[in-house]
Structure 1
């Protein structure tokens, strides 16, 4: 099948609370049986992605990590954290009144990361093993967040809103990485699924986009592709909605191909 699928994780393929992908097992098994590449695209670190990638049996498929800041390949050595150290330095150059409103993973202990994410202490430690980006909690109002983003922009740092956190990096997007990876696969049809604002570009760039219902974070506004029928929304959240959306896409492709 001439298709490659890109998916966000938390709140999309993974349940927001339990981080389980069990409700999506039927679709996952179908993709594997049809040899459709599944590319994980997340704000998670390479250390976090590696275990999930292996559990899903995704073989040699690459993954988009740290919100599009890098592409990870199975078996790759751990990256050094020079970019992360530079990023933290830029963050600390932000005026104190604004800096105090942002609490990044680097400002927290593993126990605190576990508390705000719902991860186990061990998984929280992997979430702190960052090489390119810094997710965190914004504790100010919208006006001060706009000011914070403007200051970061002047420092060469971008900020993107995800389902739970505001993530800082030196650039790179899920959409940009999607194009790179699709080209490596011979530019097949692309499908992208996500539930948060940092997924918008990826969803809009795909041939078929799916907005997974989000009952916990910042919702995605109506996108132009929805009126065109190129972007769909699910009625159910998380892996349950993901499972149905993927199976429906495969069925639609089968119908169009007359199989």
Structure 2
């Protein structure tokens, strides 16, 4: 049986605070040994993901900005598949809404609610670094957004959240929430992107089982779309209590420690 593994980054493969994947190295080596594709599927930008692709020496496709786009290296598949554009060495399947439109809608939200809202587009590299704990260069890459606007709501109350969601829906857009931020997105999510890419894998390789690993609510569409879903623990040692689906395997271990154990369990069986 062939596997394809989809993984979130922040709080899952990499630590929420240190951004290190050191605890997951044994499992990463197992995936490489068994030639199992590891597909990064995250809210991070293409520019950010490319750093991890290089560190992990990964030749595989990846999914950026909560399913905003699928980046497939040219020549990776032998089978035909539809894609939107070609850029650098990628065939790109675009699913999301362009960033300038998302910024316009966020401005509408900011003018309609009586709390402070700050998106990445409002911040310079230094302030993104301060808010996220990223170094300045990583913060610069995080601001290179194409299909997703990350934002924070200060002093949030339920009625404010409800109003924000109402405005987002009125523009025909969607949202999700990760470990740190709200995310304003178009008609896309991680699950839709995973299903499209998995179909291409099946055309190429035949029968396979898909695996997904995440830690937060914005991973839920991905976890619903795979055959074997794993939820790792968040800082503090608890699983995200907003995910109640009993079909999802809850693994002991925070972030990359749980990730490591899930993959070892998967391959050992």
Q: Same fold (TM over 0.5)?
A: yes
Contact kept? 1:26, 1:243, Cα under 8 Å = yes
Match of 1:129 in 2: 144
The secondary structure found in structure 2 opposite 1:6 is strand
2:13 aligns to what SS in structure 1?
coil
Cα distance, 1:223 vs. partner? 3.0
Provide closer, same or farther for how the CA distance between residues 222 and 67 of structure 1 changes in structure 2, counting only shifts above 3 A: closer
Say whether 1:200 aligns with 2:217: no
Query: Is it true that 1:103 corresponds to 2:118 in the alignment?
Result: yes
Q: Structure 1-normalised TM-score? A: 0.89
Residue of structure 1 equivalent to 2:232:
212
Deviation at residue 85 of structure 1 after TM alignment: 1.0
Distance in 2, matches of 1:218 and 1:150, equals 28
Unmatched 5+ stretches in structure 2: 75-86
Whole-angstrom distance in 1 between the partners of 2:177 and 2:42: 12
1:42 shift after superposition: 0.4
User: What do you get for the CA RMSD once the two structures are aligned?
Assistant: 2.2
Map 1:144-163 onto structure 2 (within 5 A): 144-163=160-179
8 A Cα contact 1:157 1:168, kept in partner: yes
Q: How do 1:1-259 residues align onto structure 2 when only pairs under 5 Å count? A: 1-59=1-59, 61-74=60-73, 76-77=87-88, 83-94=98-109, 96-98=111-113, 100-139=115-154, 140-186=156-202, 188-215=208-235, 219-224=240-245, 226=246, 230-252=247-269
Kept in 1, the 8 Å contact 2:233–2:258? The answer is yes
TM-score by length of 2: 0.85
CA contact (8 A) 2:45 2:144 kept: yes
- How far residue 95 of structure 1 moved from its aligned partner, in angstroms, is 5.8
- Is the CA contact (8 Å cut-off) linking 1:197 and 1:220 kept in structure 2? no
